[in-house]
Amino acid sequence: MKLELGLSLLYGSTILPECILFLGLVIISVIDLTLEKKSTPLLYSISLTSLLISIIVLLFQWEQKPILSFSGSFQADSFNRIFRFLVALCSMLRIPLSVEYIECTEMAITEFFIFLLTATIGGMFLCGANDSITIFVALECLGLCSYLLSGYTKRDVRSNEAVMKYLLMGGTSSSILAYGFSWLYGLSGGEIQLQKIVNGLLNTEMYNSSGILIGLLCIIVGIGFKLSLVPFHQWTPDVYEGSPTPVVAFLSVVSKVVGLALVTRISNIIFPFSPNQWHILLETIAIFSMILGNLVAITQTS
C-alpha cells in the first residue's frame, strides 16, 4: 500500500504543472456555469495565476532526475521541462495581449480562456509524451483547441476561411502521422513506446525494410505540416492572416515549440539507427524552411 501510494505521488508530481492548469480550467468552467454575470478580471486572474503557479512548479522540478511515469507513456526530464516551461510562459504572455482585443471585438472571453488553457495542457503533455498514443492524443488536444481559436471571430469571413483550411490540413496531417505510427507499431511487434519501438525493430531485423521507409516518411510529413516546414507550409499564411491577432501570436509560437520538442525527441530515439539519408533529408528541409520562409515573408503585404 505504501509503495503504491509513493508511486502515485511520484507519478502525480511529474504532471503537477498540467494538473494545476486543469484545476484552473475546472474553476473557470464552474464560474461560467454558476455566475450569471461574468467577471472578466476574475477569469483573467485565475488563468494567469494557474499558469504562473505551473511555471513556478516547473522551475522547482528543474534539477530532478529523469522519471518515466504512467507505464512509460510520459517522461519528465530537463529537456522536456524546458519546452513545457516555454509553452506555459508563452500562454501566460498571450493572456494580457488578448483581453483588450476580445473586449473590443465583443467575443466570449470565458471560452477563449478555456480553449487557451486546454491547448496549453495538450502542448505541455506533448513535450513529455513518450509513446505514439500519448503523442497523438496530446497533439489532437492542442490541434482541436487551435482550430476553435482560429475561428473564434465567427462573423469574420476570413476567420471562417482560415479555420476551414486549418481544420482540413490539420486533420490530413494527423491522419498521415497516425498512419506512420501504425507502420512502426506493426513492424516493431506491437510496441508503442518510442525506445521499445526501436528495440523491437532491431530484434525483428525490420529496421531496413520498406515499411520503415513508409512509416518514417509519413511521420516526417505529419510533423512537417504541424511545423509549417517546406514544402508543407502553404496553409500557414492564409490561416495566420484570417485568425484573430492574439490567436496568431499563440499559434506561431506554441505550435512551433511543441513541434520542435516532438521532432527532437523522435529524432534522438529513432533516427540514430537510421541511414544517413534521413539525416540529409531533415537537414535539407530545415535549410529550405529557414531560407524560403524568410524570403517569402519579405514580399508579404497582407
pLDDT digits (tens, 9 = 90+) for 32-73: 888 777 677 788 888 899 999 999 988 888 877 878 777 778
Contact indicator for 265, 223 with CB cutoff of 8 Å: no
pLDDT of 91 higher than 50: yes
Confidence of residue 269 (pLDDT cuts 50, 70, 90): confident
CA distances from 280 to 61, 184, 210, 276 (A): 36, 21, 18, 6
Q: 231: cis peptide before it, omega within 30°?
A: yes
In angstroms, the CA 195 to CA 266 distance is 9
Q: What mean pLDDT, rounded, does the chain reach? A: 80
Round to whole Å and give the CA distance between 258 and 56: 20
Cell numbers representing residue 212 in the block: 520503415
The neighbour count for residue 98, using CB atoms within 10 Å, is 24
Query: Model confidence at 121, in pLDDT bands (50, 70, 90)?
Result: very high
Give the whole-angstrom CA distance, residue 91 versus residue 110.
15
The owner of cell 527532437 is 264
Q: CB–CB of 207/141 below 8 Å? A: no
| C-alpha 79 chain-centroid distance | 15
Q: What is the pLDDT of residue 271?
A: 65
> For residue 287, what are the CA distances in angstroms to 210, 235, 297?
27, 19, 16
255-to-56, 127, 146, 235, 249 alpha-carbon distances in Å: 22, 11, 9, 14, 10
- Which residue type, as a one-letter code, is found at position 11? Y
Contact at 8 Å (CB) between 87 and 58? no
pLDDT of the residue at 290: 80
